[in-house]
Amino acid sequence: MKCTYVTLAMLCVVGWISAAQVGKISFIVGEAYYRVNINQPYKPVSMNMPISDTGYLKTGLDSSVEVLWSNGTSSTLTANRQISLKSLMAEANSKQSLRKKLENKMGNLRLQSNRLISSEAGIRRSEAEVQDKSLLYWHAEPLQSIAECIELFDSKQYARAIPLFNKVIEQSPLMKDAELAHAYLMIIYEEMGNTAMLQKHIDILKQDFPGSTLIESLPKD
């Protein structure tokens, strides 16, 4: 009898651990549903509803639901989808780790870029001394500053940052700034869920910068 009680207690503990809370519902649009595990029926979600790693979410047409994970990150389930919370967590962790890996490598590229900017500044000061009427004078579109792009990225102004990063790439496609711009655009498009544009910049980076230290941080083919 005592052995039976111990077994039941252990099962309860295991069940409690396996259904540990991993986050909560932070935003809802339209119809969204949650079930605690595969054996339970779906019920409508509500704001701040706790969710466990054994649970499932599904959304209706023209609906979406946002999950705020316990680690402070978030995920959005778009319309007409059904997914286990473990799978949704795996997607979130994958995105987070890719961004973290890229940003660790990008720090070195930013330092290299800053050194190039400093050396170019001296050249441009000399060029400025050439008079407008000189035969050596010529006009070209000013180079887009990568620093301005990064500032917009850091403030999450992605809509403004994207065309400027693309301008950096167009003006100097094989320079360090372009390599850095591709990396930032990859992070932006991943966060936006635009897998086509994400893959486009991965492919271009691999083609134009085969020796880039960023490549080892990218998803394998």
Give the CA radius of gyration of the chain: 25
User: How many angstroms separate the CA atoms of 80 and 24, rounded?
Assistant: 20
Specify whether 123 is located in the same domain as 151: yes
- pLDDT of 57 reads 97
First to last CA, the chain: 57
User: How many angstroms separate the CA atoms of 98 and 40, rounded?
Assistant: 34
Residue 208 in any domain: the answer is yes
Residue 87 in any domain: the answer is no
If one counts the domains in the chain, the total is 2
Specify whether 58 is located in the same domain as 152: no
Angle between helices 158-171 and 146-154 (to 10 degrees): 160
- Please choose, from the candidates 180, 181, 145, the residue with its C-alpha nearest in 3D space to the C-alpha of residue 162: 181
Specify whether 61 is located in the same domain as 134: no
Specify whether 71 is located in the same domain as 144: no
- pLDDT of 217 reads 83
Specify whether 106 is located in the same domain as 192: yes
Render pLDDT for 42-63 as a digit per residue (tens, 0 to 9): 999 999 999 999 999 999 998 9
- pLDDT of 192 reads 86
Specify whether 126 is located in the same domain as 72: no
For residue 139, give both structure tokens: 């006009």
List residues bridging with 34 in a β-sheet. Answer: 43, 57
Specify whether 102 is located in the same domain as 31: no
- pLDDT of 128 reads 40
Indicate whether this model's pTM tops 0.95. Answer: no
The number of beta carbons lying within 10 Å of the beta carbon of residue 194 is 13
Phi-psi region at 214: left, alpha or beta (left = phi > 0; alpha = psi -120 to 50):
alpha
Specify whether 158 is located in the same domain as 201: yes
Q: Are 83 and 42 in contact (CB under 8 A)?
A: no
Q: How far is CA 112 from CA 73, 107, 118, 129, in A?
A: 31, 9, 10, 27
- pLDDT of 52 reads 95
- pLDDT of 123 reads 38
Specify whether 50 is located in the same domain as 101: no
Provide the sign of the torsion angle of the four alpha carbons 151, 149, 98, 95, taken in this order. positive
Residue 194 in any domain: the answer is yes
- pLDDT of 8 reads 42
Residue 3 in any domain: the answer is no
- pLDDT of 140 reads 63
* Last residue within a domain, chosen from 55, 80, 105: 80
- pLDDT of 27 reads 92
* Last residue within a domain, chosen from 80, 103, 120: 80
Relative to beta strand 50-52, strand 21-29 is antiparallel
Specify whether 149 is located in the same domain as 100: yes
Low-confidence ranges of the chain (pLDDT < 70): 1-19, 95-97, 108, 111-140, 221
Specify whether 63 is located in the same domain as 99: no
Residue 196 in any domain: the answer is yes
* Last residue within a domain, chosen from 80, 106, 123: 80
Distance of CA 212 to the CA centre of its chain: 20
- pLDDT of 219 reads 77
The CA-based dihedral angle spanning residues 100, 184, 154, 72, taken in that order and rounded to the nearest 10 degrees: -30
- pLDDT of 159 reads 95
